[in-house]
Amino acid sequence: MRPGLLATASAIAMVFAYPPFEGWYVGWVGLVPLFMALEDATEKRAFLTGYLWGVVFFTGTVWWVVHSMHYYGGMSIALSILVMLLLVFYLALYPALFSYLFRRADSAGPYLKITGGAGLWTGLEYLRGWLFTGFPWALAGYTQIPATSMIQIAELTGVWGVSFWVIAVNITIYLIIGCLKREDVVSVLKYLVFTGVIIIAVFTYGIIRFNTVKVLIDGWEKLTIGVAQGNIEQALKWRKEMKATTLDVYQTLIEKTRKEGADLVILPETAMPFYLYHDRTLGSYLKEIARTNRVSLLVGSPHYENTPERRGLYNSAFLIDSEGRITARYDKVHLVPFGEYVPLKGLLFFVDKLAEGVGDFSPGEGFNPLKAGNTSFGVMICYEVIFPEISAEFLRKGADFLVNITNDGWFGRTWGPYQHFAISVMRAVEGRVFVVRSANTGISGIIEPTGRVLIKSPLMERYWFVSTIGLRNAPPTFFSRHPLVFPCIAGIFAVLFIISGHMKGRKPHVR
């Protein structure tokens, strides 16, 4: 089969490893055709083959961007597709660079090829999650989220360690196929044992830790949480006449959750389409709802400051206590480029942001947990949850649980909400902490520290639920304390792989 067809087949297969398909088993073998496509390729051809893989893969995993830009960004379908393709063309550079370097280091020994190749892929994923503010979406490790026992090592390594072993298994299976072609039975057996050791080690650790953590969290102090999913249509959300209607919707949901015993009710990102802090009518009414129902609220709302010390617009979350007082506020720190602000606005004066209703947002001042009585929790607004280091910082600062409030109405009924929700599962395992998610149109839910999803709301429905969570009573995990350790280890493996391949020179293909 031609290299281009192999790369395309590999990319398409890997798309089905992610939500909403959840083909986690595809993640183990989906990259094998790509490695086969790189056989005997020149370095230039390897780069182009990897780039083709990236274009097909990222088109398949982030196509929902078109929906957001067309329906809510005011762009034509043609322009929306063009902008999506520009994003895809950028993201495709990472697998292209991987393919180039993997082929260049082809003469490295087989076991260094496995560990170094896995380290190279993982290191480039980390780079993608950092460069130009970062976009760590569709990481290889996220393919394994449905297989809960296979992601438990994330408490040590973060999602990066899961990506590492997934890629290592793919490379090993590729080497096994090469040995079968040469009828090298001894090498086949060696690689089968190596693959088995990886999978069994990860699985055994996962089973042990899953059961251990399950027992541990049973002893944690409990808090009854309510979640309100208003399902306010994104196209109507910021209209003036919708302000009172939206407040009425959430009043009903808050009252329902309170009747079921909720002590804290969590509303989505920008649930209140007005300046809660400054609006003396609607803002005061919301506080009265909290006071009347004797319940604390976490509410998403835009906010502005206009003082000599601080000026700007913020995407914020307000904590209102059961007395109707605003006791704390978190301002979103990691903003969405072109969604909440336009970078390099002097050069890109012709580009408008997607967020409606307000002007460009300013970043908040830090990832600081909010305190509510005797507990504290970290709030990640929208896509802040896709950055592992953000949740880790909240936990290092003493958060007892994590909250992700979001407005995934931008995604519509695409694959975006399913992918976004799945990422929250990894954050729960990395930090061994309950994660509560409140999304305007879904998917809302609660995830326990083992990665098991306790509640998961339907998409595009008005919904509410009440559940009990545990307040973390354990030191931060190794990953939460040291989130950069494994990316550095992966980088070391990658450098050794590249150096070894370079020193040995271009030799016949070694498998």
Confidence check: pLDDT of 349 > 70: no
Q: What is the largest CA-CA distance in the chain?
A: 79
Is 332 an annotated catalytic residue? Answer: yes
CATH code of the region 220-472:
3.60.110.10
- Among 179, 382, 389, 430, which one carries the catalytic annotation? 382
Percentage of the chain surpassing pLDDT 90? 81
Where does the pLDDT of residue 361 fall: very low under 50, low under 70, confident under 90, or very high at 90 and above? Answer: confident
Percentage of the chain surpassing pLDDT 70? 94
- Quick one: average pLDDT of 15-33? 96
Collapse the DSSP code of 72 into the 3-class scheme (helix H, G, I; strand E, B; otherwise coil) and give the result: coil
3-state SS of 249-307 is: HHHHHHHHHHHCCCCEEECCCCCCCCCCCCCCCHHHHHHHHHHHHCCEEEEEEEEEEEC
What is the predicted pLDDT for the residue at 311? 85
Where does the pLDDT of residue 358 fall: very low under 50, low under 70, confident under 90, or very high at 90 and above? Answer: very low
What does DSSP assign to residue 337?
B
The answer to whether 141 touches 151, Cβ cutoff 8 Å, is yes
pLDDT digits (tens, 9 = 90+) for 105-142: 988 889 999 999 999 999 999 999 999 899 999 999 99
Confidence check: pLDDT of 308 > 90: no
Lowest mean pLDDT across 5-14, 105-114, 169-178: 105-114
Where does the pLDDT of residue 1 fall: very low under 50, low under 70, confident under 90, or very high at 90 and above? Answer: low
Could you tell me the residue ranges of all domains in the chain? 3-216+484-504, 220-472
The answer to whether 105 touches 500, Cβ cutoff 8 Å, is yes
Task: Write out the two tokens for 338.
Answer: 């072109």
Q: 505 versus 214: which is more confidently predicted?
A: 214
What is the predicted pLDDT for the residue at 343? 56
Strand partners, 5: none
- Order the strands of the 222-229 sheet from edge to edge: 326-331, 311-320, 296-306, 264-266, 222-229, 463-470
Lowest mean pLDDT across 75-79, 131-135, 438-442, 443-447: 75-79
Confidence check: pLDDT of 71 > 60: yes
Q: 434 versus 504: which is more confidently predicted?
A: 434
Confidence check: pLDDT of 511 > 50: no
Confidence check: pLDDT of 346 > 90: no
pLDDT digits (tens, 9 = 90+) for 374-433: 999 999 999 899 999 999 999 999 999 999 999 998 888 999 999 999 999 999 999 999
Q: 83 versus 448: which is more confidently predicted?
A: 448
pLDDT digits (tens, 9 = 90+) for 48-58: 999 999 999 99
pLDDT digits (tens, 9 = 90+) for 261-273: 999 999 999 999 9
Task: Write out the two tokens for 285.
Answer: 């009414």
pLDDT digits (tens, 9 = 90+) for 72-98: 777 789 988 998 999 999 999 999 999
Where does the pLDDT of residue 352 fall: very low under 50, low under 70, confident under 90, or very high at 90 and above? Answer: low
What is the predicted pLDDT for the residue at 348? 47
- Among 113, 332, 340, 430, which one carries the catalytic annotation? 332
Peptide bond into 443 cis (omega under 30): yes
Q: 243 versus 75: which is more confidently predicted?
A: 243
Is 269 an annotated catalytic residue? Answer: yes
Q: State pTM to two decimals.
A: 0.93
What does DSSP assign to residue 411?
G
Task: Write out the two tokens for 326.
Answer: 């605003």
Lowest mean pLDDT across 237-246, 283-292, 440-449: 237-246
Please give the full DSSP string across 135-158, using - where no structure is assigned: ---S-GGGGGTTSGGGGTTHHHH-
Task: Write out the two tokens for 268.
Answer: 């989505």
Pseudo-torsion of CA 146, 369, 218, 212, nearest 10°? 60
What is the predicted pLDDT for the residue at 342? 57
What is the predicted pLDDT for the residue at 215? 95
Kindly list the distances between the CA atom of residue 212 and the CA atoms of 126, 209, 218, 219, in Å, as whole numbers in the listed order.
30, 5, 10, 12
What is the predicted pLDDT for the residue at 69? 82
